[in-house]
Amino acid sequence: MSLAHLLVRHALAAPERPAIHHGAELHATYGQWAARSAGLAQHLHDAGLHPGDRVLLYMRNHPRYLEVLWAAWWAGLVVVPVNAKLHTKEVEWIVDNAQARWAFVTADVAPAPLAGLERQVDVESPAADALLAPAEDMSAVPVAERAAGDTAWLFYTSGTTGRPKGVMITHRNLMTMGMTYFVDVDNISAADAIVYGAPMSHGAGLYAIPHLMAGARHVVPLSGGVDPAELFALGRALGPLSTFAAPTIVKRLVDHAEETGLTPADAASAFKTIVYGGAPMYVADIRRALRVMGPRFVQIYGQGETPMVGTALSRRHLADTGHPRYLERIASVGVAQTAVRIRVADEQGRELPVGEIGEVLVKGDSVMAGYWRNEQASAAAIRDGWLFTGDVGCLDADGFLTLKDRSKDLIISGGSNIYPREVEEVLLTCAGVAEAAVVGAPDPEWGEAVVAFVVPVAGTQLTEAALDRHCLEQIARFKRPKRYLIVSQLPKNNYGKVLKTALREQLAAQSV
Ligand code: AMP
């Protein structure tokens, strides 16, 4: 079944129901959304785009993201969502690799034509108004037949090593993701609303699917990005809202709440649920978030290859402060979501006993069909139905998965394994530390030396001596950083992940 049917169903049953808001203004009802998507689907079909052809979405968050996305699925096309922060050269590489035919863009993100396309449409142009003019009779535009295993979403991995790979995410994968949300993340009704702060080209945008399943409202901030004051204001006007946020975004929301003196009750009136994931959430940070904003958090762990579906740490687990292993649990990523099995395995894929550290494997209906036109990489990533995630972690006896760092981030110093996250967790409990990232730097004596980049809380003075004293009190001597670099910010990608590769490069450049 095609994902387009989800929209048709609500448009027929409740055409007047508000569907998409741009800022606080209503942009489309369910009837209008479907009529516009059907109108565009007809144009795409008339232009000779066939089911299975690729169209690129390269824009900031915009209400038309949703209209174009569902139009493409209506016409049976495969959407290629592109990170708005990519360099033109990188985007053109994706256009070529995916053999994309059309692109829908916003002019701020793509001011010039991209090479290799048949047509590029600025979604804010009169041409887009014409293409998205509502179909007079949407029942005259049949939804293209798609099998559950056909690709819907061709997501390019960030490709920190080598060229990015196109991850083939099918209609079945996304249906599974949508339904699993209701079981493992949160219940949603038509009265609810989601706000898109994080980029819609990633998991945040995919959460449109469960919200569409429920016939809920979709809110796109006018800024098209994350501005905590704007998000809180939208929450007060249209909420309480749900949203997906990387840990760095959660931190900005919490900072805003604290700085403006908002109470947990104020936070509750603005936000129903904040789903966090995509990067490590440190214990000190989630405890502060719970204290300032109340019990409105749920964690998920997934990756582009099994989008938004891996494990979940529920609101209930996060509230269970009396549990004897509460701290371990909130440092974990929770338990397997309902649609998948999780296993920790050795290099040969053999399951390891509870407590042992190995690679995290995922199996289930959310796992990608494979990498686009890359048999070799597909065969390496999926073996015997299990997705080898490249993440390293361990399971406890209750089924909670704790992630260590990705294998490439592990530091080996003097022959001992040091997991940066453990050191980061400790640094974050030191007064005056806002953010911390730990990496290994080449060291002639130790092989690698632990180096900490630390961002102080605004207005505080941190000293190396104080940081070192704090680490010595909490962790083994060999794990404590050999150097502390106090910096004003950490390099992050568009999705809010700290770029450890950039930190390592910075250190390498300094040592030459
Ligand atoms: P992406 O494919 O860009 O979504 O990145 C997925 C990767 O982000 C995973 O393989 C993990 O390394 C990391 N990640 C995702 N969710 C979490 C989480 N809840 N905690 C820690 N790391 C995470």
Spell out the domain ranges in the chain: 1-146, 185-303, 340-408, 410-511
CB of 334 closer than 6 angstroms to any ligand 1 atom: no
- Nearest Cα to Cα of residue 1 among 199, 141, 144: 144
- Nearest Cα to Cα of residue 326 among 283, 295, 293: 283
Alpha carbons 4 and 382: distance in angstroms, whole number: 28
SS3 435: strand
Nearest CA to ligand 1 atom 1: 303
313 Cα to the center of ligand 1, angstroms: 14
CB of 233 closer than 6 angstroms to any ligand 1 atom: no
- The minimum-distance atom of ligand 1 relative to the CA of 300 is 19
CB of 201 closer than 6 angstroms to any ligand 1 atom: no
In this prediction, residue 162 carries a pLDDT of: 66
CB of 391 closer than 6 angstroms to any ligand 1 atom: yes
Overall fold of domain 1-146: Rossmann fold (3.40.50)
Torsional sign, CA 275, 277, 278, 279: positive
Backbone angles phi, psi at 378, to 5 degrees: -65, -45
In this prediction, residue 202 carries a pLDDT of: 94
Measured CA distances, 231 to 18, 35, 238, 242, 274 (Å): 19, 29, 10, 11, 12
- Specify burial of residue 182 (Cβ count, 10 A radius: 0-12, 13-18, 19+): middle
Mutate to test the pocket of ligand 1, among 391, 409, 492 (most ligand atoms within 8 A of CB): 391
Intrachain domains 1-146 and 185-303 with the same fold? yes
In this prediction, residue 364 carries a pLDDT of: 98
**What is the number of H-type helices and E-type strands within the chain?**
18, 26
pLDDT tens by residue, the chain, 512 residues = 999 999 999 999 999 999 999 999 999 999 999 999 999 999 999 999 999 999 999 999 999 999 999 999 999 999 999 999 888 988 999 999 999 999 999 999 999 999 999 999 999 999 999 999 999 999 999 999 999 999 999 999 875 556 889 999 999 999 999 999 999 999 999 999 999 999 999 999 999 999 999 999 999 999 999 999 999 999 999 999 999 999 989 999 999 999 999 999 999 999 999 999 998 899 999 999 999 999 999 999 999 999 999 999 999 999 999 999 999 999 999 999 999 999 999 989 999 999 999 999 999 999 999 999 999 999 999 999 999 999 999 999 999 999 987 777 889 888 888 889 989 999 999 999 999 999 999 888 888 899 999 999 999 999 999 999 999 998 888 899 999 999 999 998 877 889 998 999 988 887 65
In this prediction, residue 409 carries a pLDDT of: 87
Nearest CA to ligand 1 atom 7: 303
The single residue listed with the structure tokens 């142009």 is 125
- The minimum-distance atom of ligand 1 relative to the CA of 310 is 16
Instruction: Please compute Rg for the chain using Cα positions.
Output: 23
In this prediction, residue 428 carries a pLDDT of: 94
Alpha carbons 219 and 360: distance in angstroms, whole number: 34
Nearest CA to ligand 1 atom 23: 279
Question: Quick check: pTM over 0.85?
Answer: yes
Alpha carbons 437 and 440: distance in angstroms, whole number: 10
Question: What pairs with residue 437 in β-bridges?
Answer: 453
Mutate to test the pocket of ligand 1, among 403, 425, 494, 498 (most ligand atoms within 8 A of CB): 403
Task: Answer whether 310's CB lies under 8 Å from 362's CB.
Answer: yes
Asked if the 410-511 domain carries CATH number 3.30.300.30, the reply is: yes
In this prediction, residue 38 carries a pLDDT of: 98
CB of 53 closer than 6 angstroms to any ligand 1 atom: no
Half-sphere exposure (Cβ direction) of 486: Cα atoms closer than 13 Å: 14
Task: Answer whether 84's CB lies under 8 Å from 59's CB.
Answer: yes
In this prediction, residue 10 carries a pLDDT of: 97
Nearest CA to ligand 1 atom 12: 391
In this prediction, residue 21 carries a pLDDT of: 98
Tell me whether the omega of the peptide bond preceding residue 240 falls within 30 degrees of 0, making it cis.
Answer: yes
- Nearest Cα to Cα of residue 216 among 224, 208, 204: 208
- The minimum-distance atom of ligand 1 relative to the CA of 203 is 4
According to CATH, what is the number of the domain 340-408? 2.30.38.10
According to CATH, what is the number of the domain 185-303? 3.40.50.980
359 Cα to the center of ligand 1, angstroms: 13
In this prediction, residue 495 carries a pLDDT of: 79
